Amino acid sequence: AQSVAQPEDQVNVAEGNPLTVKCTYSVSGNPYLFWYVQYPNRGLQFLLKYITGDNLVKGSYGFEAEFNKSQTSFHLKKPSALVSDSALYFCAVGGGSGNTGKLIFGQGTTLQVKP
């Protein structure tokens, strides 16, 4: 069965510092990995995806993520955090054997960027 783990409920960083939000996954077959961001009372916004190819994926708003197959991880990163990056971040996995396209989400990580 597919699963996603986000080990941190909350990540706190100072504005201007680099940020990392962690994600590990479990899937049989090739994973499709996604990051989404959710602002209060809004739906999820797509940030980036890994399907195949280069392990470093660049996405919206300066975010990037690195796919590591041996560690089954897909951590979200940004070199310099902004206060406006404060939100709830979800990692998700799709694909794998028998998958119809549905996404399995992690529990979410709240990112707090302080001025």
Partner 1 sequence: GAGVSQSPSNKVTEKGKDVELRCDPISGHTALYWYRQSLGQGLEFLIYFQGNSAPDKSGLPSDRFSAERTGGSVSTLTIQRTQQEDSAVYLCASSLGGGANQPQHFGDGTRLSIL
Binding site for partner 1 (CB under 8 A): 32, 34, 36, 41-46, 49, 51, 90, 94-96, 99-108
Least distance to partner 1, CB of residue 10, Å? 15
Please, which residue, 70 or 100, has the CB nearer to partner 1?
100
Q: Which two tokens stand for residue 9?
A: 């409920």
Please, which residue, 51 or 83, has the CB nearer to partner 1?
51
Please, which residue, 81 or 103, has the CB nearer to partner 1?
103
Q: How far is CA 60 from CA 26, 34, 36, 51, 80, in A?
A: 25, 12, 10, 16, 14
